[in-house]
């Protein structure tokens, strides 16, 4: 049996609300495409093994028109034409930053970005990756409950 975990939104309300505001700003104050943002959120959550976040973001993704085929093949995004070169560059960057201890965010991951994204978009994308990784760590570390659907 697992120890009872802490609910961050109840124990540290101010920081939690700041994180929520940051998430809202990423969605509203960037020129990053809404579909790309949600693909990044699902992909990073897959990389981190965050069931709660995968479930949440997959549902959000379908609401905005991302196909179930794209979601199923997101783990093999480099092997399919379902994703644009721009999306592939962003997904590769997201993966490189999520595994930064191994990849060191080397030029091979960075250079494709500058073909498709402005400087601000690269920075915003990097903020997004950091944010999703924070959410994943909260959800995994504090054992957010995934509700089973009926």
pLDDT in tens, 94-115: 999 999 999 999 999 999 999 9
pLDDT at res. 149:
67
What are the residue ranges of helices labelled H in the chain?
Answer: 8-11, 13-28, 34-48, 51-63, 68-72, 85-98, 100-103, 107-110, 113-116, 119-141
Q: What is the pLDDT of residues 16-69, one digit of tens each?
A: 999 999 999 988 899 999 999 999 999 999 999 999 999 999 999 999 999 999
């Amino acid at each position: 049996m697992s120890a009872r975990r802490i609910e961050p939104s109840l124990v540290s309300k101010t920081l939690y609300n700041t994180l929520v505001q940051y998430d809202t700003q990423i969605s509203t104050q960037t020129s990053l495409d809404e579909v790309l943002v949600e693909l990044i959120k699902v992909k990073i959550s897959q990389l981190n093994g965050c069931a709660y976040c995968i479930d949440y973001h997959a549902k959000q993704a379908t609401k905005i028109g991302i196909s179930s085929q794209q979601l199923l093949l997101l783990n093999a995004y480099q092997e399919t034409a379902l994703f644009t070169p721009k999306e592939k560059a962003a997904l590769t960057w997201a993966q490189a930053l999520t595994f930064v201890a191994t990849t060191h965010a080397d030029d091979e991951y960075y250079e494709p970005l500058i073909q498709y994204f402005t400087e601000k978009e690269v920075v915003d994308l990097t903020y997004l990756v950091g944010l999703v990784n924070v959410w994943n760590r909260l959800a995994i570390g504090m054992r957010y409950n995934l509700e089973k659907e009926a």
